[in-house]
Amino acid sequence: VTIDHPLRLGLGVVALIIFALLYAMLARRATTHDLAYSNIAFFRDAAKPRTWIPRTLQGLWLVAFAALILGVGGPHLQLMLPAHDGSVFICIDTSGSMAATDVFPTRAEASKAAARAFISESPSGTKIGIISFAGAAGVVVPLSADHQAVLSGLDEIPPPNGATAIGDALALAVRMLPRKGHRVIVLITDGVNNTGADPMEVAQRLGNQHIPVYTVGIGTENGGLIPGTNEEATIDEGRVARVRTGQQRRLRASRECDAASRRALDSRTNDLAPTQTRRCIAAVRNCGRLGNGLRVPGRVGIGTLSVSDDPIARLTEWIEEAGGATRIDAIAMCLATVGANDRPAARMVLLRGLDRRGLQFFTSYESRKGRELAENPFAAALLYWPWLERQVRIEGVISMLPESESDEYFDSRPRGHQLAAWASEQSAPVESHAVLEERFAHFEQRFEGEAVPRPHSWGGYLLAPSYFEFWQGRPNRMHERLEYKRSGSDWEIIRLQP
Amino acid sequence: VTIRDALLRARRRPRHFGAGSPTVYRGDGYEFVELRAYVPGDDVRRIDWASTARSGELQTRVVLEDVTLTLAAILDASPSMGVGRKRPLVTAAREALADWFGAATAEDRCIHIAGGSITAAALQRGSRRAVALRDDAGAFDLNKTLRTAYAALPRGTALLAISDWYDLDAGVDRELAGLGARFDCTALIARDPWYEQLPLAGIVRLRGAEGGTLRGYIGARERAAYLAAVRAREASLLRRFEAANWRTGLLREEDGGASLAAAFGLRS
């Protein structure tokens, strides 16, 4: 709760206290105006007047007065309510610099992915429109509450080419937005404005109309090459930041304005930061690159699954699309095994290799999965990429990798990981973590100055698949499922209902 | 019939003889009433010789008895008597007191008792100035005044006490009885100004005549309770005084003289 006029409130409270004290004093003193009675004690005993009634009324009166004073103080509570009736224009930069590949696969594709994530996370009812801009701005999808239509409109964004007219795009968005209601502009750009209206001017106008602009910068600090040219694209972070802070700049400029209007504007813009816009920023942050090292996925959920006869190739492709081998959650795989006790057990492992033979992962042979695989070589694995709405189920037989391959992989690991493989007897009980630390230190000393050899209890496994199921999420749960069953050296392919 | 007559006729007629004012009783005095035939036993000094000679039979002169009354009064002039609907009760009380002392004839003594002091009220027959008494400025202490009266007044005194009797202690009944046995006592009880009905409703603020304030809600329930309590109090006071052999009356705000007369069963 904030108080608009603390001075008024303070004065009011002081006045209230003085008034209450005066009132109490005067009420105590009988005046000649009061009706006289010969003996008050007798009257009190005789009539037993209800004294709590005037007392209660006095109390209520005091409360009312206090409330009035509080009201004069102007308290207000800012509640952040999700706005479902908002209108959002997403302005996507399609200038030539957006073809740069410093963000995977390209800045333009990353922008689309970010927009897609934002749209799919927006609450239904929010009207979303898309504007693409290069040398000139154009509406790709007008404001619509049909998010599916908006999503499909993303595919119609023209390929990166031309100059960057951020100002024109913002101006167009303002023209297209309704005159009332929650209005938000999300600007996805690399910020190199080089034509059209001055974005800062437009941003000021937006500030006047209380339309917040959330700007998402796309690009790395080092920039990247634009394919097919020798140009190098950079990101104008300064400009991006300036556009993003247009609101604040305006507020700062209006410091000379009277306090009331500034406060009104302030509270207004706060109210106008609806939840989905924050989600947008979060979604865009997750997908687009904002200096956190994450790679942006490429094509997302496009087209129907073609029936390819090579599941390994398809899996490789999907992993690449999910971010490739360097992205942990692209290669995180759930591995289920069944031991001699016929009870299944599942855990996550990292898929460290994929070739014609099958899927490879590395672990301690003495771990629980190692023991269970020794007892029962059949296993199932699952890869899931929720942001792509994709899942792959794999089943098959597991065998140990040749020692040479295990050695090769072990040597590629960081030294700390290698030492940990020595220090830990995986899945065996340990008294305390300190014991582990001690053992780690011990092996650190033992292998000081030399390469750490692979422990014999540690190595790779190969999951030779005999079954695949590829699952591609689709709107309205009309998912696609393709099943691959090994029959001899070929794969039998069956399309399943969702 | 006057208050004085009523006092003399009362059962509690003071045994107080001697030269004074003629009473309604025929006896030893100076005021001639009639001549009648001699009855054996008549004082021979009362035989009217002139009329005996004229009539040839013994004639006796009948005269009224001469009695000197002592009229004492206690007036509660404390602030609690200063209330009233149209005028203060104490005004009516002063009227009653004026009538009381006004009843005195030449030889009667008038005594005003206030607190520890006794004032001989200057008396002029027929003059109401007699009651232009200086009230004791200090607080009126009813019980102390009663004790003073008991100790200081001569036996047979006619004592009038006017008060609202709020301060009458519960344990004072024995003293009241003592006063009733010793003197011809009359108590005038100031009737509550709101005896008929309590003219209050809603949230009211009352000021005590002798201090204190009260703020409360008065509704039908309170009014009924008040009336019942007032009536009960008055009845209880009347009972107590009658038990102590006092003559009782109610002091009404409108007319003090009439109230006093009513106490003696007279029409004013």
pLDDT tens, A378-422? 999 999 988 888 899 999 999 999 988 899 889 888 888 888 888
Q: What is the pLDDT of residue A224?
A: 56
pLDDT level of residue B161 (50, 70, 90 thresholds): very high
Quote the CA–CA distance of A13 and A69 in Å, as a whole number: 7
Nearest C-alpha of chain B: how many angstroms from A53?
Answer: 6
Query: Mean of the pLDDT values across residues A324-339?
Result: 89
Cβ distance A41 to B82 less than 8 Å, yes or no, reads no
**A412-449 residue pLDDT tens:** 888 888 888 888 888 888 888 888 888 899 988 888 88
Nearest C-alpha of chain A: how many angstroms from B165?
Answer: 11
ipTM of model over 0.90: no
Give the nearest chain B residue to A33 (CA atoms): B207
Quote the CA–CA distance of B140 and A212 in Å, as a whole number: 85
pLDDT level of residue A194 (50, 70, 90 thresholds): confident
Q: What is the pLDDT of residue B121?
A: 61
**B248-264 residue pLDDT tens:** 999 999 999 999 999 98
Calculate the alpha carbon distances from A297 to A92, A131, A301, A433 in Å.
Answer: 17, 22, 11, 38
Q: What is the pLDDT of residue B32?
A: 84
pLDDT level of residue A462 (50, 70, 90 thresholds): very high
Comparison of pLDDT for A144 and B187, the residue scoring more? B187
Comparison of pLDDT for A284 and A215, the residue scoring more? A215
Query: Mean of the pLDDT values across residues A17-41?
Result: 82
Q: What percent of chain B has pLDDT over 70?
A: 83
Question: What do you get for the CA distance between the two ends of chain A, in Å?
Answer: 51
Chains A and B form CB pairs within 8 A to the count of 105
Q: What is the pLDDT of residue A64?
A: 94
Q: How many CB atoms lie within 10 A of CB B110?
A: 22
Cβ distance B166 to A35 less than 8 Å, yes or no, reads no
Question: What do you get for the CA distance between the two ends of chain B, in Å?
Answer: 10
What integer best gives the mean pLDDT of chain A?
78
The pair of structure tokens assigned to B34 is 């009639």
What integer best gives the mean pLDDT of chain B?
82
Helix residue ranges, H only, A288-367: 311-322, 328-331
Cβ distance B208 to A36 less than 8 Å, yes or no, reads yes
Q: What is the pLDDT of residue B237?
A: 93
Closest CB from A42, A46, A53 relative to B217 = A53
Quote the CA–CA distance of A165 and B163 in Å, as a whole number: 105
- Among A65-74, A180-189, A416-425, B136-145, the least confident range: B136-145
Comparison of pLDDT for A268 and B172, the residue scoring more? B172
Query: Mean of the pLDDT values across residues B94-116?
Result: 80
Q: What is the pLDDT of residue A466?
A: 92
3-class SS at B263? helix
Cβ distance B206 to A40 less than 8 Å, yes or no, reads yes
Residues of chain B contacting A53 with CB distance shorter than 8 Å: 203, 216-217
How far does Cα A145 stand from its chain's mean position? 22
Q: What is the Cα Rg of chain B in Å? A: 23
Query: Mean of the pLDDT values across residues A231-257?
Result: 42
- Residue B12 CB partners (closer than 8 Å, separation 6+): B183, B184, B245
Cβ distance B206 to A43 less than 8 Å, yes or no, reads yes
Rounded to 10 degrees, the C-alpha dihedral A193/A194/A196/A202 comes to 30
Q: Is B197 on the interface with A (CB under 8 A)?
A: no
Q: What is the pLDDT of residue B48?
A: 92
Task: Indicate the burial class of A464 (C-beta count within 10 angstroms; 0-12, 13-18, 19 or more).
Answer: middle
- Residue B147 CB partners (closer than 8 Å, separation 6+): B175
pLDDT at A248 over 50: no
Residues of chain B contacting A41 with CB distance shorter than 8 Å: 208, 212
pLDDT level of residue B17 (50, 70, 90 thresholds): very low
Cβ distance A36 to B214 less than 8 Å, yes or no, reads no
Query: Mean of the pLDDT values across residues A145-153?
Result: 87
Query: Mean of the pLDDT values across residues A200-204?
Result: 78
User: One-letter amino acid identity for B39?
Assistant: V
Write the Ramachandran bin of B193: left for phi over 0, alpha for psi from -120 to 50, otherwise beta.
alpha
Calculate the alpha carbon distances from A101 to A91, A98, A220, A222 in Å.
Answer: 20, 8, 10, 11
Rounded to 10 degrees, the C-alpha dihedral A90/A95/A96/A97 comes to -70
How far does Cα B167 stand from its chain's mean position? 19
pLDDT at A291 over 80: no
Query: Mean of the pLDDT values across residues A325-336?
Result: 89
Nearest C-alpha of chain A: how many angstroms from B82?
Answer: 8
Among A residues 40-99, those touching chain B with beta carbons less than 8 Å apart: 40-51, 53-54, 57
Quote the CA–CA distance of A137 and A150 in Å, as a whole number: 17
- Among A186-190, A457-461, B59-63, the least confident range: A186-190
Give the nearest chain B residue to A39 (CA atoms): B208
Quote the CA–CA distance of A110 and B217 in Å, as a whole number: 78
Cβ distance A30 to B212 less than 8 Å, yes or no, reads yes
pLDDT at A223 over 70: no
Calculate the alpha carbon distances from B125 to A295, B18, B66, B108, B186 in Å.
Answer: 128, 20, 17, 10, 22
Task: Indicate the burial class of B262 (C-beta count within 10 angstroms; 0-12, 13-18, 19 or more).
Answer: middle
User: Are B143 and B76 in contact, with CB atoms under 8 Å apart?
Assistant: no
Q: What is the pLDDT of residue B232?
A: 94
Query: Mean of the pLDDT values across residues B146-151?
Result: 86
Query: Mean of the pLDDT values across residues A360-366?
Result: 91
Comparison of pLDDT for A51 and A199, the residue scoring more? A51
Q: What is the pLDDT of residue B55?
A: 93
Closest CB from B213, B226, B229 relative to A30 = B213
Q: What is the pLDDT of residue A372?
A: 92
pLDDT at B226 over 90: yes
Query: Mean of the pLDDT values across residues B227-249?
Result: 93
Calculate the alpha carbon distances from A68 to A62, A63, A64 in Å.
Answer: 10, 8, 6
Strands ordered across the beta sheet of A137-144: A137-144, A127-133, A87-93, A183-189, A213-217
Residues of chain B contacting A47 with CB distance shorter than 8 Å: 198, 216, 218, 222-223, 225-226, 229
Calculate the alpha carbon distances from A178 to A86, A123, A280 in Å.
Answer: 10, 19, 20
- Residue A9 CB partners (closer than 8 Å, separation 6+): A3, A69, A70, A72, A73, A74
Residues of chain B contacting A46 with CB distance shorter than 8 Å: 225-226, 228-230, 233
The pair of structure tokens assigned to A93 is 């930069």
DSSP secondary structure, B51-96, as one string: HHHHHSS-EEEEEEEEE--EEEEEE--SGGGG--SSS-HHHHHHHH
3-class SS at A165? coil
The pair of structure tokens assigned to A197 is 């209206």
Closest CB from B166, B218, B219 relative to A39 = B166
Q: What is the pLDDT of residue A267?
A: 35
Comparison of pLDDT for B33 and B258, the residue scoring more? B258
Residues of chain A contacting B201 with CB distance shorter than 8 Å: none
Cβ distance B219 to A50 less than 8 Å, yes or no, reads yes
Among A residues 22-41, those touching chain B with beta carbons less than 8 Å apart: 27-32, 34-41
Query: What residues of A are labeled active site?
Result: 477
pLDDT at A463 over 90: yes
Nearest C-alpha of chain B: how many angstroms from A178?
Answer: 59
Residues of chain B contacting A31 with CB distance shorter than 8 Å: 207
